[in-house]
Amino acid sequence: MFFEGQRSGFLPKDQRLNWRGNSGLGDGSADNVDLIGGYYDAGDNVKFGFPMAFTTTMLAWSVIEFGEMMPPAELRNALVAIHWGTDYLLKTVAEPDRIYVQVGDPVKDHNCWERPEDMDTDRTVYRVDAPNPASDVAGETAAALAAASMAFRSSDPGYSQTILTTAIKVFEFADTYRGAYSDNTDIRSGACPFYCDYDGYQDELLWGAAWLARASDDVKYMSYIENNAKPLGADENIYEFGWENKHAGLNVLVSKQVLEGNVYALESYKASAESFICTLLPDSSSWHIEYSPGGLIYRPGGSNLQHSTAITFLMLVYANYLEASSSSVNCGNISVGPAYLRGLAKYQVDYILGENPKGMSYMVGYGNNYPQRIHHRGSSLPSVWNHPKPIQCKEGTIYFNSSDPNPNVLIGAIVGGPQEDDEYGDDRADSRKSEPTTYINAPFVGVLAFFNANPSLTQVSTPK
């Protein structure tokens, strides 16, 4: 999934993930349902449906926008990764008016430091049945399936149609029974505070409808996002984008219809998208996004690179839309086109991959200086192939507390990253900085595909 191409520094292929084995092969069995597969969200052993669906959406969007730039083998890898996600998501919505949103008790899981192959904590299944609401998870799942249907349209049209049909049904569930999944009392203890919906479910309804509009060409979804822009708050929180808040991504996505399709009824989405873009530009009078002294996009809170990779992805996508429509963004005192946005995006990529004050690549396995002590159970514990005997819950604590580098290199994983002053301590216990997540990595797939295909692009000046 990660690109070698013009960049050097990856370990040989025979050293990649050969330290992992099967895990979670009984997931769902206690509830007589098959919930095997999918992704653990980060360095733990829990499957959270909300960030997993967003990860899948972003992988699919990467292929939609940048798949033609990927070398054939890497495009196949990307599609395999998407397929793994959508196969699991199909299982979570296989029963009418029901969605499975999580597998694993996070409190018990987080109290252990054990390999996924050994985990013996409760694989509790969390589900939402109508009329209880799960608009956020269901809306994001609909988005993931709709986006993936576009990614698979040429290579597997039958599968593409299956997941699109399912996406339509899942969106109906999301829209009919409105509310946040974590507001359900029997879900809240498992979802919160880890992937609680703090910002509301309305953005996922618009996000899911926008992807269905693009994937299905059904005018009713276009009407939905037009008519519900104000009621569902499309113009609120427009500067955020990530697993919980979809507003900036929604506005960029819908702007394609305005810029390239002349659908002026959706002009408000384009206006919001360009307001977001202008806040990123250091030369603009509208600039207010924070940058570290070294020039990294910075958002207060943990796991900062989730913001950096997602925002970088949006800059490149919007640059594509501007180029296709021969347009530019007017930010008051300046007007910028695709080249400027791509240059600013390149600065973020180069920072993440090592051109920063620490001289550290925040992608594990890339370059000569990268995080050695990441907050990831499987990476930090001896491989099952080298240490076949199970390592029980508390037996892994000695490895967690060790100052030794992780014995297994999680190639390509991007960690949470440095703090606002560009400092990074490489401390396994500091999970906000040292833990990799799927939703940090997923947007970077499309970003790397673009720059792998366009290695000669230059940066903008250092953001200050």
Provide the CATH number for the domain around residue 19.
Answer: 1.50.10.10
Average pLDDT (210-225) is: 96
Residue 237 lies in a domain: no
Query: Rounded to an integer, what distance in angstroms lies between the CA atom of residue 125 and that of residue 26?
Result: 11
Residue 274 designated active-site? no
Flag whether 186 is in a domain: yes
- Known active-site residue 44: yes
| Domain, as residue range, for 147 | 1-200
- The residue with greater pLDDT, 5 or 25, is 25
Alpha helices, DSSP H only, in 123-232? 135-151, 157-176, 185-191, 202-216, 219-227
Name the residue among 85, 2, 6 with its Cα closest to residue 363: 2
382-416 pLDDT tens trace: 999 999 999 999 999 999 999 999 999 999 999 99
| Cα–Cα separations (whole angstroms), residue 389 to 113, 118, 361, 384, 395 | 15, 9, 34, 7, 12
pLDDT by residue (tens digit) across 132-143? Answer: 999 999 999 999
Q: Is residue 167 part of a domain?
A: yes
| 65-77 tens-digit pLDDT | 999 999 999 999 9
Q: Note whether residue 389 is domain-resident.
A: no
- Residue 267 within a domain: no
Answer yes or no: is 148 within a domain. yes
**Structure pTM?**
0.95
Range 76-86 burial, b when 16+ CB lie within 10 A, else e: ebbbebbbebb
Residue 367 domain-assigned?
no
114, 204, 240, 435: the catalytic one is: 435
Mind listing the pLDDT tens digit for each residue in 110-135?
Answer: 999 999 999 999 999 999 999 999 99
Q: Exactly one of 83, 247, 307, 375 is catalytic; which is it? A: 375
CA 127, 133, 137, 141 dihedral sign is positive
Catalytic (active site) residue 4: no
Backbone angles phi, psi at 434, to 5 degrees: -105, -5
Partner residues linked to 48 by β-bridges: 102
- Number of neighbouring beta carbons within 10 Å of residue 300: 8
Report whether pLDDT(464) > 70: no
Specify the number of domains making up the chain. Answer: 1
Catalytic residue among 41, 44, 105, 203: 44
Residue 61 maps to a domain: yes
Task: 83-87: list long-range contacts, CB under 8 Å, 24+ apart.
Answer: 83/148, 83/152, 83/159, 84/37, 84/38, 84/39, 85/38, 85/39, 85/52, 85/53, 85/55, 85/56, 85/59, 85/144, 85/148, 86/56, 86/144, 86/145, 86/148, 86/163, 87/37
Active site residue 426: yes
User: Which carries the bigger pLDDT value, residue 218 or residue 11?
Assistant: 218
